[in-house]
Amino acid sequence: MAAWWLRLMMVLLLCTDVRAAELLLYTEENPPINFSHDGVPDGMAVAVVKELVRRTETRAEIKVVPWARGYKMATTQPNVGLFVTVRTPDRETLFRWVGPIVSTSTSLYARKGEPLPVSSLEEARQLNHIAVPREWYSHQVLVRLGFTNLELVPKPHEMVRMTLLGRVPLMVYEDQLLPGLLKEVGAPPDALQPVHTFMRTSSYIAFSLETDKALVRRWQAALDDMKRDGSFAHIHSQWFPDSPPAGLKADQDLLP
């Protein structure tokens, strides 16, 4: 009898696992767009994704993981989504895309009160170290531009602390996200000063190539509906009251 019950429980557990999640959705610690609060995923993009899950009636699980791990899963495993991910020509054929979710500008930052060490990317290339999150698009762009002085960090929080402690003269981050990051590490909102803005980007939900095309189309249609009915703008305003939400089209430029 005990063996029969054990086999039944194993079957039920396997069935539960199959039904548990149609999609695995990975995100990272990058407040206020996405982060974990008491172990629960939160943030502007998380709120949008949860609404998309509801509207498309998708069985999905959201996990907050280091960016490099999520990126690897999205490029090697089926039925995986990674958000938010900058959409670029290099990445275009690696994923199926839904968005845009967020539009941002990216700058070099220095510690407040320090003499500004550079005024251009060319000058920044001559510095000893520049902190940048590992495998972020900004990291990939700077490598492509010939930067060999990059100090790679697994999380943005570590990068901020390094800059505030004077361990690196510059760090790279999105302008719209910096206030939330400084708050997360307990630093004053003006602890860092912008040095040079060099990029505008749009970020998406990046689905692995083996994710069902029809599902991805449903998600894009649902997101477009959210932008038309005002619910997307409402969510965005709760996190970014002073900046406009991403539109139906992407914003992508490398600035001089």
Domain segments of the chain as ranges: 22-103+203-250, 104-200
Q: Are strands 95-111 and 192-208 parallel, antiparallel or unpaired?
A: antiparallel
pLDDT at 248: 62
Q: Measuring CA to CA, which residue among 96, 122, 77, 115 is closest to residue 216?
A: 96
Band (223; pLDDT cuts 50, 70, 90): very high
Contact yes or no for 170/128 (Cβ under 8 A): no
Given 3-state DSSP classes, what are the helix, strand and coil percentages for the chain, each rounded to the nearest 5? 40, 30, 30
The separation between CA 190 and the C-alpha centre of its own chain, rounded to angstroms, equals: 23
pLDDT at 136: 87
pLDDT at 20: 56
Band (18; pLDDT cuts 50, 70, 90): very low
pLDDT at 125: 93
Judged against a pLDDT cut of 80, whether residue 46 lies above it is answered with yes
Band (246; pLDDT cuts 50, 70, 90): confident
Band (16; pLDDT cuts 50, 70, 90): very low
Judged against a pLDDT cut of 70, whether residue 242 lies above it is answered with yes
Judged against a pLDDT cut of 70, whether residue 254 lies above it is answered with no
Q: What is the pLDDT of residues 156-206, one digit of tens each?
A: 999 999 999 999 999 999 998 899 899 989 999 999 999 999 999 899 999
Contact yes or no for 20/59 (Cβ under 8 A): yes
**72 vs 74: CA distance, rounded Å:** 5
CATH topology match: 22-103+203-250 vs 104-200: yes
pLDDT at 11: 46
pTM: 0.75
Superfamily of domain 22-103+203-250: Periplasmic binding protein-like II (3.40.190.10)
Average pLDDT over residues 105-114: 94
Average pLDDT over residues 118-128: 92
pLDDT at 114: 87
pLDDT at 3: 55
Band (117; pLDDT cuts 50, 70, 90): confident
Fold of 104-200: D-Maltodextrin-Binding Protein; domain 2 (3.40.190)
